[in-house]
Structure 1
Amino acid sequence: MAANEEHYTLAAPEFDKPVKVLIAVAPYYKGIADQLVTGARAALEAAGATHETVEVPGALEVPQAIALAHRMSNFDGYVALGCVIRGETTHYDTVCNDSSRALTLLGLQGAPVGNGILTVENRAQAETRAEAAGQNKGGGAAEAALHLIALARQWGSPKGGVGFKPGGGEGNSDESFQIA
C-alpha cells in the first residue's frame, strides 16, 4: 500500500527576500479543508512566508481565484486546496480533471502553484490525507509552492539575450548595435 512507503522529501528552500503566498481553498468538505489549511499555513510559516487565505465555492473555482490573483495582485506563489470525493455520477471526473488541468496550465504560464486538491474515493481516504499531523497533503502542497517560488527566483533574473540590441553602448548612436 502506498501509504506505508517511505518517500524522499526535498529540504525546505531558504529565502533572502520575503515570500507572500495565497492559499485558495474550497471548503466544500469543511473539516477536511480546515486540516489542509492548517498544514499549509504551518509549512509556510516554518519557511518564514506570509500568507493570505481565500475561500471559493468549489474545486473548479480554485484555479480561477489563483488566476485572478496572479494577474491582479502581488503574490509570489499559490497553494490550491480542496477535496473531491467520488460520487455516483461522472461529475467527479470532470471536477478532478478540469481543476488539475487548470492548475497545471497556470503553472506552465509562470504561476508557482502547489496542488493540494485531494481526489479520493471516500471520506476516510480524504481524512487520512488531509490530517495535518498525518499525511499532511496541505503542508506538502505549500512546500511544493515554496520550491517553485525558489526556482522562479533563481531563474527569474534578467539575462543577456542572444543577438543584437539596438542603441548599444556609450557613444553609440541609436542606429548602432551591441552584442547581447
Structure 2
Amino acid sequence: MKKLVLITLLFTSLLNAQVFTGKGDKKFQVGANFQDHGTGITATFDQGLGTNFSIGFVANYLLGVKEVLGEKPNFADRIDAKARFNANIADVFGIEEHFDFYPGLDLGLKNFGAHLGARYFFTEGFGLYSEIQLPIAHYDNHVEGIFEKYNNQFNVSVGVSFNL
C-alpha cells in the first residue's frame, strides 16, 4: 500500500510540472560547461516577460584549463558574463508541458552569440537542462594573446534547472 501511495504521489507531481509559464516565470540553472582547452561551471537566470519569451543572464567560469606555452589564464581570461534573450517555443509546436525548447541570442563580455537549449522538469521545481552556445561575432577578430579562445567558442553545458 505504501508503494502504491508513493507511486501515485510521484506520478501526480510529474503531471503538474509545467516548464515555462510565461510572464513572471523565473528559472535558475547551474551546470558544467565543456569546451576546447577547458571545462568549467555555468549559471543562468531567466525571467519570463511574455507568453513565449524571457530575458536573463549567464555567467561562465573555467575551472579546469590547459596551460598554453607554460602559462595558465588569469581571472579575466576564465570568466564571461552575458545578457540573453530566449524564445520559449515548446508550446508553439505542441510539445508536452514538461519540456521547454528555447533558442536565443546573447550579448556578452567577449562576443555576440546564440544559444539553443532544452529543459525537462520532473517536478514543479526541479529539472535537467542542456544548452549549446556559439559565438556569432567576436568583438576583436585580431586578438593577440594566448587565451583569446577561452569563453569565445562553441560550448556545451548540462546541469540542473530550478523554478523560483
TM-score (norm 2): 0.29
TM-score (norm 1): 0.28
The structure with more helix, counted as a fraction of residues: 1
